[in-house]
């Protein structure tokens, strides 16, 4: 039962992240609110840059990782609409791969901070934190 709750919380948090990232990929038109779209991802990137003291090169590479993830998530969403379990598993795998790619770009000091950020996020969303290493 705990495992299901953790999975559902993970899906909800990842789904929220995916939905905010999908709006990033779409062009904003005049009917959209000025607060929709880019803000959550932009805020997250600013937080990463500030908290991890990222270089400009790291920031660009991490943004590319997120952009690639968003495209893959959108394709995954289209291909697994009827199989929620498969989508959950793929989303979890995608999240882990993204975190591993980001960790590979970080210094040892940044990795420690990134790991702590992941723990805080896991606590916030009510799931157990699993190290990327």
Q: Is 5 exposed, middle or buried (0-12, 13-18, 19+ CB in 10 A)?
A: exposed
Distance of alpha carbon 42 from its chain centroid, rounded? 12
Among the residues of the chain, which ranges form H helices?
2-25, 39-52, 56-79, 84-105, 108-124
Q: How many CA atoms lie less than 13 Å away from 70 in the CB half-sphere?
A: 20
Q: What is the pLDDT of residue 49?
A: 92
Rounded mean pLDDT of 77-92? 75
State the sign of the Cα–Cα–Cα–Cα dihedral 109, 133, 55, 17: negative
Question: pLDDT grade, residue 35 (50/70/90)?
Answer: very low
Rounded mean pLDDT of 41-55? 88
Rounded mean pLDDT of 6-24? 65
- For residue 53, give the nearest of 101, 117, 99, 123 by alpha carbon: 117
3-state secondary structure of 82: coil
- pLDDT above 70: percentage of residues in the chain: 65
Model confidence over 85-125: pLDDT tens digits?
A: 877 888 888 888 999 999 999 999 999 999 998 888 888 77
Residue 21 has pLDDT above 80, yes or no: no
Spell out the residues 6+ positions from residue 40 whose beta carbon is closer than 8 angstroms to its own: 17, 20
Residue 126 has pLDDT above 80, yes or no: no
Q: How far apart are CA 48 and CA 106, in angstroms?
A: 11
């Amino acid at each position: 039962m705990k495992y299901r709750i953790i999975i559902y919380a993970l899906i909800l948090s990842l789904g929220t992240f995916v939905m905010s990232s999908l709006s990033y990929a779409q062009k904003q038109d005049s009917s959209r609110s000025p607060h929709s779209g880019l803000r959550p991802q932009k805020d997250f990137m600013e937080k990463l840059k500030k908290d991890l003291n990222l270089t400009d090169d790291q920031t660009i590479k991490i943004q590319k990782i997120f952009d690639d993830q968003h495209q893959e998530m959108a394709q995954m969403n289209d291909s697994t609409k009827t199989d929620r379990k498969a989508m959950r598993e793929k989303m979890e795998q995608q999240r882990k791969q993204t975190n591993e790619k980001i960790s590979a770009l970080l210094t040892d000091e940044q990795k420690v901070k990134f790991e702590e950020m992941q723990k805080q996020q896991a606590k916030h969303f009510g799931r157990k934190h699993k190290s990327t290493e």
